[in-house]
Amino acid sequence: MTTSKTLPTPQIVAEYNAMKADIEHHSRLYYQEARNEISDQDFDARLRALAELETAYPSLRTPDSPTQRVGGAPVEGFETVSHRVPMLSIDNTYNAEELREFDARVRRGLDGDVPAYMVELKLDGVAMALRYENRVLTQAITRGDGLQGDDVTQNVRTIRGVPLKLSESAPPSLEVRGEVFMTIAELSRLNEIREAAGEEPYRNPRNTTAGTLKLLDSREVAKRNLSIFLYSMLEDEERPPVTHEETLALLKSYGFPVNEHHTRCADVDAVIDTCMGWTTRRFDLDYEIDGMVIKVDDPQQRARLGFTSKSPRWIISYKFPAEVRQTRLREISVQVGKSGALTPVAELEPVPLAGTIVKRASLYNFEDLAKKDLRVGDLVEVQKAGEIIPQVLRFVPESRPADTVPYPVPTACPVCATPAHKDPDDAILRCVNLSCPAQLKERLAHFATRKAMDIDGMGPALIEQVVSRELVRDPADLFDLTEETLSSLERMGEKSARNLVAALEACKQKRSLKHLLFGLGIRHVGSSTAEALAQHFGAIEALMAASREALEDVEDVGAVVAQSVLDFFDTLANQDLIRRLQERGLNTTEAQPIAVADDSNPIAGKNFVVTGKLSMFTRDEIHEHIKALGGKASGSVSKRTDYLVAGEKAGSKLEKANSLGVTVLTEADFQQLLGGAT
């Protein structure tokens, strides 16, 4: 049997190099030319064979091996790295007239010379710089503030479109720049998994991409199929500048994926035609773009035009206008949320909009509905807010049917007929019946989410069945479900039933009071407030007995949250729910951190607020450091705040901290404080 100490023979080395070259060949075909010579299964089999050979002979494995895309152990945080050349922002234009004004400025800057332009798609993703030494990927850095970014190399290595090693035609030392993005199909795949697990779906590809690149565990990043296109490279004294069109060709020859949709335009009229042509063509793509990028093609002309303090003078973007479509308002339904909120929803004649078919749109509340005077039967204008959320803008007055009538404000819940209650502080109508089936489904889904009780397998289809069959009337009933009962449900075999019962048992031990409080869905109590309450009181009995004053003494808990918590635990049905959850073995306590600061840990027991624009840390990273060392991270400055960590443009929180005499730290000060926490 081969051991890790066995050295490979020359024949094995040759076999390994051939396998590696074969995999790299098929990767280039797929990511650069969008074609396959082998199936995905065959590709995966070849990759596994390479990994097995590397396991047998570890000396063969190098950082540029295709097997090194699976991700490694979690990192503690991201190092901040300075860009060699700033990654500047780009000014925007919104119509043809503004594009002509840009062209006029360029011509003036070139003393009347006529420029040609390259027009590319403006990908809605995350800008990235890749550095190569000896043609091997050594560093990947986010744009950050343009001067500094996060080193996310370990995460970017998992992106199959990123070459770990360049072709021999590439220069040994090179920095290239591009955009990391997620396809619409990949977002849909991830959301199917999340919805099946009862989790909130991701909202859009761009935010999901940014969040994925910030994950500290690259093994999780590898599970999300991010993509990348490269579009520029830093100039080098040894390489004369070339046109942008030639740059794209060189990038492709080096092994980088380059977007095929780019057009060289002889004048601004051609630029405008190209931009306008993509206004509708963009919806045929499997990734999102929010505009076009226009660049002067000639490098010497770019050098003559130069830069402003914020952006190059030779480049600009054209942002697409929000697409507005007309469709018929067929019906107005009322949706009941987990907190009992009654929300009017527009049921529309299906209409294609921004790449999807839109059938429904939230109308927010009944006051907004009345203000817009929307009526069933109206022809309405619809757009996607931020290209994401469908919204009804207005009805078309000249097309209103004569028999339409204003929609009546409901007086009762449409599901359980309980009289509707109007919040005194806002425009929301609510169903106050905690046993309402519609609320129950939403509450159970929330109870099972990862931030709450993390019950794997408790998806929407299962919740629908257990509620409709009256097997579950509140969260405590979940823990009475048996394998026999569950396996009798549709699409629930014995194995699925067994796994769910195991997940329910596991959460009793693995989840603590903070998870339970968040899972109960108490109004105004999010995950951070739930954690603050749990750590402050330590046990649910102490929390249930707390006075208003005691609640308001908790960091981040004001009068509104305190009243909401009091109302929840003053309700007899909720008191009974807590008792039944305890009887079923759920953990209703929280381990409280030792809150004593000393020379070895100056952070323990201290209250921190973080504000302003940060460059050395992300806000989440600072919060994680504080909590790990027994401190508390809050969102607002008060007399209980010990330290304010202030970045650039700290604003009102800094003013309040100064007025209260709170100690203000820079990021460097905070890092020094961390150094003392040993």
Residues designated catalytic: 122
496, 457 contact by CB (below 8 A): yes
What's the rounded Cα separation, in Å, for the pair 614 and 650? 10
413, 480 contact by CB (below 8 A): no
What's the rounded Cα separation, in Å, for the pair 429 and 159? 47
Give the rounded distance of the alpha carbon of 523 from its chain centre.
Answer: 24
What's the rounded Cα separation, in Å, for the pair 205 and 182? 5
Q: Enumerate residues 6+ apart whose C-beta is below 8 A from 454.
A: 448, 507, 510, 511, 515
DSSP state of 110: T
288, 204 contact by CB (below 8 A): yes
What's the rounded Cα separation, in Å, for the pair 663 and 657? 7
Q: Enumerate residues 6+ apart whose C-beta is below 8 A from 59.
A: 7, 8
- The amino acid sitting at 648 is E
361, 423 contact by CB (below 8 A): no
In DSSP notation, 405-457 reads -PPPPPSB-TTT-PBEEE-SSSS-EEE--TT-HHHHHHHHHHHTSTTTT--TT
What's the rounded Cα separation, in Å, for the pair 552 and 571? 20
Token digits for 658?
A: 């100064």
E strands of 531-600, at which residues? none
332 - beta bridge partners? 346
Helix (H, G, I), strand (E, B) or coil at 272: helix
What's the rounded Cα separation, in Å, for the pair 576 and 156? 50
Helix (H, G, I), strand (E, B) or coil at 261: coil
- Taking alpha carbons only, the member of 127, 125, 132 closest to residue 145 is 127
What's the rounded Cα separation, in Å, for the pair 69 and 63? 10
Q: What are phi and psi of 391, to 5 degrees?
A: -145, 145
* Helix (H) / strand (E) containing 663: strand 663-665
Q: Enumerate residues 6+ apart whose C-beta is below 8 A from 542.
A: none
Give the rounded distance of the alpha carbon of 169 from its chain centre.
Answer: 37
